[in-house]
Structure 1
Amino acid sequence: MATNLQSLILFIVCFGIFAFVALAKTDSQDVSALNDAYKSMNSPSKLNGWSSSGGDPCGDSWDGITCKGSSVTEIKVSGRGLSGSLGYQLGNLKSLTYLDVSKNNLNGNLPYQLPENLVYLDGSENDFNGNVPYSVSLMNDLSYLNLGRNNLNGELSDMFQKLPKLETIDLSSNQLTGKLPNSFANLTGLKTLHLQDNQFKGSINAIRDLPQIDDVNVANNQFTGWIPNELKNIGTFETGGNKWSNGRAPSPPPGTRRVNRDSEGGGGSNKALITGVIIAVAAIGGLIFFAGIIALLTRRKNSHHSSHFFDEEKGGSNRSKPLFTPQSSQKLQFDSMEEFKGQKTVDSNASIDTKVSVKRTSSVSFKNSPTFHLIPSTQGAATPDRFSSLEDSPDTRGVRVFTLADLQNSASCFSPNRLIGEGNIGRVYKAKYQDGKKYAVKEIDSSLLGKGNLEEFSQIVSSISSIHHPNMAKLVGYCAEQGRNLLVYEYFTSGSLNRFLHQSDDFSKPLTWNTRIRIALGTAQAIEYLHEVCSPPLVHKNIKSSNILLDSDLTPHLSDYGMANFHHRTSQNLGVGYNAPECTDPSAYTLKSDVYSFGVVMLELLTGRMPYDSDRPKPEQSLVRWAKPQLKDMETLMEMADPALCGLFAPESVSAFADIVSICVMAEPGLRPPVSNVVEALKRLV
């Protein structure tokens, strides 16, 4: 009897211990996110209990970590002397509501994906750069946002439409520029706004009607216009150090909502306001009624003149045509992959009617993007008789002229520590100006330009400056002095797609499956612009993941376009693994060769592997050769997917993506689709 009782007690104790351990075990995704953050912060010894791999943050009570059940809900590590960055996996902390990493020495960009359920976010008094992550726009419960006293730069995105609970914003003492986002007007719960010591400009009218605002500091910026009367009677209002207009402010436009803080709750004023509104509505209604009658009569009178326009708006035959269809019978459709794989397309060398092309492409609309207008490229080479210097050329006046001394100063005399890239054409350096602006400066090897140095460089600048698309790296300016030829581009702090996909730390790969599709789509739209909007079509000849640059929102920007002649001369179009089979002869490179290279980039997105990896077994060294036979097998395809995705994708989406890849990397150029069909297929996956 006693033995049975002891056995029962022992069983209960063991079961209790097991249950406790099971309940204390932290969610594996949370553990990975904290492991990644710990390593990114250089594994600080001050964070007791933290580990770079594994562990149990909730069960072992890691320093600064609070949990609820098996989920991490709070991180409070303010003032611990932490350095490094926060890594890329914080967004996986789905239950995190409180994040305080203030008063440390953290640097780099803030993670582009932050936890969506945050209520409190404090990253102040660090050395963060880049911009405010757009993922803030998804934090519907956020009430406190403090990123003050960092080195944030650039313009604020219009991301504040759906943050009704946000009460405090502190972005003070950074290097933020541009106008205040219009969506500030949606912050109906905002009480405190500190934007002092930045470089904001324009007016502050976006915040004048916020009903609860009571503490505003916009001192030491570049704001202009008039100080809104609505803000003059709030509790605290600091405005010094700006460029305000003097005199009496003009009346607001008709219909502008105004808030009279002194008369809130006053019955007489409210009645007067209601009466005024009723009268205004009645008057406006009458005007609309009579305007409608006049418009109806006018439309009937002139309907025969505008019938073609209305037919197009209703969905005429032209509306559904693709951007580029050499022959209607050869248009590829992705609805049926068997039909898709059995079609052939017109070869890229086929002649195109330039006049028709110009008319067709003068204004092109991209879905989910603004309309772009093609600026005609230069026809014929510039001659010394037309201009005496590059700056005088009429074809290069759309971009800024930099001096060599200015660029040398901003790039530390082009020292090795400012070198960010090097290729067959030349080197790329990072230039940083005192006002916080950063540029990527590409110096073209003068030996590639030949004797007609100035004229040929003028043609390069003219060609590149005429290309405008949101998924293209923008040419800002150029410099041609003392025999040196430099192109100045916008700088992207997130680096290249190659960096994101192929860094050695497996925990630091941040790209979700949907993000990868969007990167593929944006890049495809950029290639579509070159191939099917520009007239004549432009071959890129250097499409690879290192030439796809990502901004803070991970929007792709294709770089190194307009350099096809140089790649031809070097007889080395691309890095190993990107070349289409026909490219053993540089002169054989066509638009379809670009499609092949882009297919390799999509394979990188799918598998996380490099195009060529000599460290792998010989059958796996060439990515295309290894992957292509497996793209049609669902079981092997799931095994091929990048391990960094952790299986977080829809199998049918991966399968459809693989179908697009397989047709892009066909050995025969004529079997590859035009890039416009690739764009349409990727849109369906998004």
Structure 2
Amino acid sequence: MHHFLVGYFVLSLGTLISLVHSKTDSPDVTALNVMFKSLNTPSQLSGWRESGGDPCGDSWEGIKCSGSSVTEVNLPDYGLSGQLGYQLSSLTSVITFDLSKNNLNGDIPYQLPPNAVHVDLSENNFNGNVPYSISQMTSLQDINLSHNQLKGQLSDMFAKVQKLESFDVSFNQLSGKLPSSFANLTSLNTLHLQNNQFTGTLNVLADLPLNDLNVENNKFTGWIPNELKDIDNLRTGGNSWSTGPAPPPPPGVHHRHPNGEEEQSHGGQKSSVVNAAIIALSCLGALLVVALLIAVFSRRRSPPPSSYFLDEERISGRKGFTPLQSQELFTESYVGILKDPKDFKSIDSGVAIDIKSLQKSPSMGLKHSVSGRVSFSENEFANRLKGRRSTSVHVIPYSLADLQNATGNFASSRLLGEGTIGRVYKAKYPDGKVLAVKKIDSSLFQGERLEGFSEIVTNISKLHHPNIAELVGYCSEQGHNMLVYDYFRNGSLHEFLHVSDDFSKPLTWNTRVRIALGAARAVEYLHDICSPPIVHKNIKSSNILLDLELNPHLSDYGMANFYQRTSQNLGMGYNAPECTSPSAYTLKSDVYSFGVVMLELLTGRMPLDCKRPKSEQCLVKWASPQLHDIDALTRMVDPALRGLYPLKALPPFADIIALCVQSDPKLRPPMSEVVQALVRLVQQSSINMRDDLSTSRRTEDSDY
């Protein structure tokens, strides 16, 4: 009896201990499993595993928990290499995330732990962009990304990060102007931007509570705001600051002069004079003549219609802008993407600017042409493009002769594909560099000003995201207009799914989900991050390019103007029912097209296939009635997968498709919800997003 009681007590104690030390939450375990494999399974991380395990209960190296949730990942200076994995968004309880002073490379993951307060990824070898997910990290107080190789511009993503106290991106290769949403960082006291290539002014920082500001060794211009000169720790050397007195601000804007007094600009003074004149006229008729003389004099001093300065009265709703330089065609404050260059006409034409739309989208750019009849020869194209674009644009002008040599004079053997608006050729250079050149159909420029192409180049070049094929150059000579992109050796998703050859293996299920998620994030970026939103209009598998690791890169974005001019049918089989012409496309029609791409990933079938029985020729019509039938789903899955997929992942994947391809556009979800649904699918299925690429990868391109 005694032994029985002792045994019962021990058993009960063990049960109690197991309840106190509950196993780590499953999403946290999966995220750390993926991270461990992405870090090349380092032996110095004791306790870590590629699958399963109990990080909290087994005290994994560098991991701290609260209950069953991981709250800290502290691994600075551990000699780690590789990357951080694809599932950091699952670490929803992580407060501190520190992997500084390692040898991590590639892009910083698109999503960091969403509720993190302290993030330190400094002193690594990251070489992508600053991740957009920072825009949703509302608890973030300090983030250090210094001493990496980050590039591109800082997106306008700081509106909601109002708890941020310290931001350090020093010693990188970042460029462009400071985003206007910096003005929302009302808690920011430390800002380190030194040793980058930032341009523009510091005006957006003027009202922040900074006490430590370092902007040394950049390309800033203009004047250092007087509000910043009181900062205790201010370092500004190594820039191109202007000398002499600063120009007055726009009318009605308060400005603190060097003597410390705050005065109102001349616009306010003029208003006061006018009011005084009216009062005087009501009291003393003799002053009428004087008032008329003042009015005539003022009118003579007003700028002529052809002035290079914007009509400041029309944009009084905007906070602070910089007048145009004589050679420029865009305002210095341009940071947005024009939906259509025709939306904003020159001030000379007398068309009023829509102030409400400017206030709704403060990042919108304003176009101001020198004259309504401006034209210039083609050999001036590069100079005009350089003058009209913001300094955040980094595209290389290529000569026609250069591209002719690199493409074998656009030989048919170099043809990569033919799309709605032109052909794409492979350009090869002696140093091994390979590019893709999109040669736009010259007929699309009939009756169009040459400036239209430069506007499109300017707008496209401002788009930066890990899952889009970014523009690297352009050419406009002798009637030829071309866009130059990086070449993706693995071709397009269409080729992988539908073109049978001896060089590729079928895409695994995990890779298909990863492609779907990456492509969805690219479309989400166009729809939700860009201001104003960009409708792609031509989403299809042939416009999703795959890099060496089979990561997707969306191409053919920003071509809305060209699509408006073509009579060709965009994306046969991808069009939403309401899209009878290019002008009918909307954000929701993009969602429909994306759903068709997901159907291709699921079934391996083409959107339209005349070789199949009539009832199966249209993929959406054939598949839609079966998307909620598990037995039918298993029969629909691409035979190339040979049954190698998690059965439980089929219904949620099919549910996302069913929502996207609904005939009523109002019922289709926004792309942000599609991304969230795919992320949940990844988490629930415990999919390893960095699966063995050898199971689905093309062999070496012999024509590289």
Distance 1:421 1:142 in 2: 48
Q: Distance in 1 between matches of 2:662 and 2:157?
A: 38
Letter in structure 1 aligned against 2:243: N
- Which residue does the alignment assign to 1:628? 624
Change (3 A) 1:403 1:207: closer
Aligned partner of 2:283 in structure 1 is none
Residue 208 of structure 1 is aligned with which of 202, 206, 215? 206
The 3 A distance-change label for structure 1 pair 481 and 250 is closer
The separation in 2 between residues aligned to 1:155 and 1:680, in whole angstroms, is 35
| Residue 219 of structure 2, aligned match among 218, 222, 247 | 222
Aligned partner of 1:544 among 535, 540, 545: 540
User: What is the CA distance between 1:543 and its match in structure 2?
Assistant: 4.6
1:402 aligns with 2:397: yes
1:79 paired with 2:68, answer no
2:103 counterpart SS class: coil
Question: Contact 1:520–1:602 at 8 Å: present in 2 too?
Answer: no
Between the aligned partners of 1:461 and 1:502, the Cα distance in structure 2 is 47
Check whether the contact 1:609–1:623 (CA below 8 A) recurs between aligned residues: no
- Which secondary structure state, in structure 2, belongs to the residue aligned with residue 106 of structure 1? strand
Distance 1:510 1:83, change over 3 A: farther
- Mapped to 1, the partners of 2:230 and 2:565 lie a distance apart of 64
The answer to whether structure 1 residue 244 and structure 2 residue 241 are counterparts is yes
Q: Name the stretch that deviates more: 69-78 or 221-230.
A: 221-230
How far apart in 2 are the matches of 1:48 and 1:26? Answer: 17
Whether the aligned pair in 2 keeps the contact of 1:611 and 1:623 (CA below 8 Å) is no
Distance 1:606 1:223 in 2: 48
For 2:81, the aligned partner's letter is S
Partner of 2:62 in structure 1?
64
> Which amino acid is the alignment partner of residue 172 of structure 2?
N
Q: Output one character per residue of 1:310-341: Cα deviation in whole Å (capped at 9) or x when no partner.
A: xxxxxxxxxxxxxxxxxxxxxxxxxxxxxxxx
Q: Is the 8 A contact 1:439 1:488 kept in 2?
A: no
Secondary structure of 2:29 counterpart: helix
Amino acid at match of 1:442: V
Give matches, 1:636-675, under 5 Å: 654=655, 658=658, 661=661, 663=663
Q: Deviations over 1:197-238 (max 9, x none)?
A: 111111112222323x22111011111111223333322211
Residue 232 of structure 1 aligns with which residue?
Answer: 229
Residue in 2 that maps onto 1:612:
605
Instruction: Name the aligned partner's letter for residue 240 of structure 2.
Output: K
Q: Distance in 1 between matches of 2:544 and 2:535?
A: 15
Tell me the matched-pair count.
519
Contact 1:612-1:622 within 8 A present in 2 as well: no
Aligned position for 2:23: 25
* TM-score normalised per structure 1: 0.57
Deviation string, structure 1 residues 68-120 (Cα, Å, up to 9, x no partner): 11111111111222222222210111001101111122122212222221111
Contact kept, 8 Å, 1:126 with 1:149, in 2: the verdict is yes
SS at match of 2:28: helix
Q: Does 1:42 align with 2:48?
A: no
Give the whole-Å Cα distance in 2 for the aligned partners of 1:597 and 1:190: 38
Give TM-score, length-normalised by structure 2.
Answer: 0.55
Q: Which runs of 5+ in 2 are unaligned?
A: 280-353, 368-375, 390-394, 409-413, 497-506, 607-611, 638-644, 674-704
Q: Determine the C-alpha separation between the residues in 2 that align with 1:85 and 1:206.
A: 34
What corresponds to 1:8 in structure 2? 8
CA distance in 2, matches of 1:430, 1:145: 41
Alpha-carbon contact 1:149-1:172 (below 8 Å) kept: yes
* C-alpha distance in structure 1 between counterparts of 2:19 and 2:417, whole Å: 59
Q: Is the 8 A contact 2:543 2:554 kept in 1?
A: no
After superposition, the Cα gap between the structure-2 partners of 1:510 and 1:179, relative to the gap in structure 1 and judged at 3 Å, is same
> Does 2:53 match 1:51?
no
The superposition leaves residues 473-524 of structure 1 with CA deviations (integer Å, 9 ceiling, x where unpaired) of 89775448999995325999xx98889x97845895783999698479789x
Comparing 99-108 and 132-141, the one that deviates more: 132-141
Note the C-alpha offset of 1:621. 13
Alpha-carbon distance in 2 for matches of 1:204, 1:628: 54
Determine if contact 1:88/1:509 at 8 Å carries over to the other structure. no
8 Å contact kept, 2:220–2:240: yes
1:88/1:510 contact within 8 Å kept:
no
Counterpart-to-counterpart distance in 2, 1:442 and 1:681: 35
What letter is aligned with 1:612? R
Partner amino acid for 1:217? N
Instruction: Indicate if the aligned counterparts of 1:549 and 1:558 stay in contact, CA closer than 8 A.
Output: no
AA at the equivalent of 1:630: Q
Residue identity in the other structure for 2:557: L
Task: Tell me, in whole angstroms, the C-alpha distance in 1 between the residues paired with 2:211 and 2:28.
Answer: 38
- Structure 1 residues 510 and 113: alpha-carbon distance in aligned structure 2, compared to 1, 3 A threshold: farther
Gaps of 5+ in 1: 264-271, 292-362, 375-386, 415-419, 450-454, 531-539, 581-588, 664-676
Amino acid paired to 2:627 = L
The equivalences for 1:213-612 within 5 A come to 213-250=210-247, 256=254, 402-404=397-399, 422-423=416-417, 425-427=423-425, 441-442=436-437, 478-479=474-475, 487-489=483-485, 504-505=510-511, 511=517, 518=524, 543-548=539-544, 558=557, 601-605=594-598, 609=602, 611-612=604-605
The change in CA–CA distance for 1:28 and 1:622 in structure 2 (over 3 A counts) is farther
What secondary structure is seen at the aligned counterpart in 2 of 1:487? strand
Secondary structure of 2:231's aligned partner:
coil
Q: Which amino acid aligns with 1:245?
A: S
Moved more, 243-252 or 458-467: 458-467
- Per mean C-alpha deviation after superposition, the further-off stretch among 478-487 and 74-83 is 478-487
